[in-house]
């Protein structure tokens, strides 16, 4: 039998505030264990939380970029459960009155446009982290992450393939990054994704029993996990067995999903209104000010690149597809008269180096301005293609300015006309047959002479000068 998978996502994203959600401890990633916590975020008795205004602004921004309705009245609830990484034994979250409701995000997946509905986005605090020491067989608790503001984005069950899930997740990452809400570093856990999956016979309008996949630590893992889980459920149903509602995790090494806990021990969180945090009523003016403070979003940036700089839709999409590269490009074009040339060298040679792992977009060792200068040297025939690549390699390893590198390595095109003439005369004299072929109308051998001359001149003359001289000599 053929089955149709249905999925919904829960995405947790840590907000880029300076301090935590209810205290003044630093909210940045890392730090020596338990050095970024205080009585408030550790939930000691007698402490009182104070809500971080910035965190509320950020979730409202998230709501706007995902086309949500923003609640004019919102309140906080206690979600009670005990776990060693949650010293308070409850998490302050939002149940019936979240900040954002009923949004949507459009994606392109499997070649088709699709609208994914957002059920809600709420604000809550993150829990700490447990570090398990397998060797000594002990577990340690690090509370630095306790109280980092977190938004949870809950979608409707609108996904029917792993490709749709990854396309959506990538789009959410872009929106959050451009809005300045979250840095979306999955490897540091600042954005995390849980997937609910069920399958049902094709044509059926009743959803099957769902399982939840948790702790997916990369998008590649998520894609594999989804496919493995669909396969597992299909095999069960084919054998006449039942899918049990449970939470599962993905084992990256075996490529299989493994049960973590079943519905029997599902929590009853006993939500009740948090008495320490008062509800909020937003005025229209407050919401309007927050909406107006949103920076340029990916779609607007695409349009600026295409309409103002005249670069192609494809190139614009590649650049905008990574916020750090797009910021780098903006830095480059701020000094460069030709944004088009910078775009084509960026999408070509620069991205090739990114794909080879030579450049880390999060940590580009030179400025966009230096990259713009390199592009200018290349397009104005001051550096040959090959030598520009050499300069770029050196910029990657040392971060130095392109002109300093070209000076030191003696890479500038010198337009040495005498050397040019001598070298090409010699090449033509040594290859009389090819020269004869060209003169009798076989234009293809022109490339042969260009290649030989480029190699012999090693950037001492510009391609244009070489071309002109060869053409002139061959038609004599």
The CA distance from 89 to 343, in Å, is 52
Report the nearest approach of Zn ion to the CB of residue 150 (Å).
15
- Which C-beta is closer to Zn ion: that of 27 or that of 372? 27
CB of 164 to Zn ion, least distance (A): 39
Distance CA 287, CA 56 (A): 11
Distance, in Å, from the CA atom of 124 to the CA atom of 154, rounded to the nearest integer, reads 13
Q: Which residues contact 36 (CB under 8 A, 6 or more apart)?
A: 25, 26, 144
User: Residue 11 CB, nearest distance to Zn ion (Å)?
Assistant: 25
For residues 23 and 68, which CB has a smaller minimum distance to Zn ion in the complex?
23
- Comparing CB distances to Zn ion, the nearer of 38 and 154 is 38
Rounded to whole angstroms, the Cα distance separating 147 from 174 reads 24
The sheet with strand 77-80 has its strands ordered as 90-93, 77-80, 272-273
Q: How far, CA to CA in Å, does 121 sit from each of 64, 158, 418, 467?
A: 11, 16, 71, 62
Binding site for Zn ion (CB under 5 A): 23, 25, 38, 40-41
Q: Taking a C-beta distance cutoff of 8 angstroms, is the pair 451, 437 a contact?
A: no
Q: How far is the CB of 22 from Zn ion (least distance, A)?
A: 7
- Residue 11 or 40 having the CB closest to Zn ion: 40
CB of 336 to Zn ion, least distance (A): 45
Shortest gap between Cβ of 12 and Zn ion (angstroms)? Answer: 20
The SS3 assignment for 18 reads: coil
Q: Which is nearer to Zn ion, 42 or 354 (CB)?
A: 42
C-alpha–C-alpha distance, residues 200 and 237, integer Å: 9
Classify 220 as helix, strand or coil.
helix
Which residue from 330, 325, 280, 284 is spatially nearest to 304, judged by alpha carbons? 330
User: What is the smallest separation between the CB atom of 43 and Zn ion, expressed in angstroms?
Assistant: 10
The set of residues, in sequence order, having a beta carbon less than 8 Å from that of 137 and lying 6+ positions away, is: none
State how far the Cα of 317 lies from the Cα of 302, in Å rounded to an integer: 7
Give the residue with the Cβ less far from Zn ion, 46 or 203: 46
Q: Strand pairing of 191-201 and 3-14?
A: antiparallel
The nearer residue to Zn ion, 41 or 176, going by C-beta atoms, is: 41
Nearer to Zn ion, 25 or 123 (CB): 25
CB of 380 to Zn ion, least distance (A): 56
């Amino acid at each position: 039998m053929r089955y149709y998978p249905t999925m919904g996502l829960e995405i947790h994203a840590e907000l880029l505030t300076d301090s935590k959600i209810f205290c003044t401890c630093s909210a940045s990633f890392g730090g020596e264990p338990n050095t970024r916590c205080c009585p408030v975020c550790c939930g000691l008795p007698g402490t009182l939380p104070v809500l971080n205004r910035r965190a509320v602004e950020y979730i409202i921004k998230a709501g706007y970029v995902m086309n949500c309705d923003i609640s004019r009245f919102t309140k906080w609830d206690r979600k009670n459960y005990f776990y060693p990484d949650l010293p308070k034994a409850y998490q302050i979250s939002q149940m019936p009155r979240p900040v954002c409701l009923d949004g949507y995000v459009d994606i392109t997946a499997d070649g088709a446009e699709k609208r994914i509905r957002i059920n809600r986005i709420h604000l809550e605090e993150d829990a700490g982290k447990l570090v398990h020491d397998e060797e000594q067989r002990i577990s340690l608790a690090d509370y630095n992450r306790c109280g980092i503001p977190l938004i949870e984005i809950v979608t409707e069950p609108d996904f029917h393939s792993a490709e749709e899930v990854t396309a959506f997740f990538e789009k959410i990452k872009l929106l959050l990054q451009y809005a300045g809400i979250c840095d979306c570093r999955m490897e540091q856990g600042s954005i995390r994704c849980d997937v609910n999956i069920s399958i049902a016979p094709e044509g059926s309008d009743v959803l099957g029993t769902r399982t939840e996949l948790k702790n997916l630590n990369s998008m590649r893992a998520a894609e594999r996990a989804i496919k493995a889980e669909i396969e597992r459920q299909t095999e069960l149903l084919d054998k006449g067995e039942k899918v049990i509602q449970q939470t599962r995790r993905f084992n990256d090494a075996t490529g299989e999903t493994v049960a973590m806990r079943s519905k029997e021990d599902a929590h009853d969180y006993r939500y009740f209104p948090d008495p320490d945090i008062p509800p909020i009523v937003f005025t229209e003016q407050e919401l309007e000010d927050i909406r107006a403070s949103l920076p340029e979003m990916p779609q607007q940036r695409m349009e600026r690149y295409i309409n103002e700089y005249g670069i192609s839709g494809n190139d614009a999409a590649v650049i905008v597809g990574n916020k750090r590269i797009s910021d780098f490009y903006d830095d480059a074009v701020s000094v460069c008269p030709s944004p088009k040339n910078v775009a084509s060298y960026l999408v070509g040679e620069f991205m090739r180096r990114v794909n080879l792992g030579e450049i880390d977009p999060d940590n580009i060792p030179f400025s966009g301005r230096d990259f713009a200068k390199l592009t200018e040297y290349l397009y104005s025939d001051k550096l040959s293609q090959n030598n520009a690549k050499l300069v770029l390699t050196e910029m990657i390893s040392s971060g130095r300015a392109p002109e300093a590198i070209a000076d030191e390595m003696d890479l500038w095109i010198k337009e040495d006309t005498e050397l040019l003439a001598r070298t090409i005369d010699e090449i033509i004299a040594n290859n009389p047959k090819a020269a004869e072929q060209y003169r009798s109308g076989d234009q293809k051998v022109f490339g042969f002479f260009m290649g030989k001359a480029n190699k012999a001149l090693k950037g001492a003359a510009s391609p244009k000068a070489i071309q002109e001289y060869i053409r002139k000599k061959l038609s004599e």
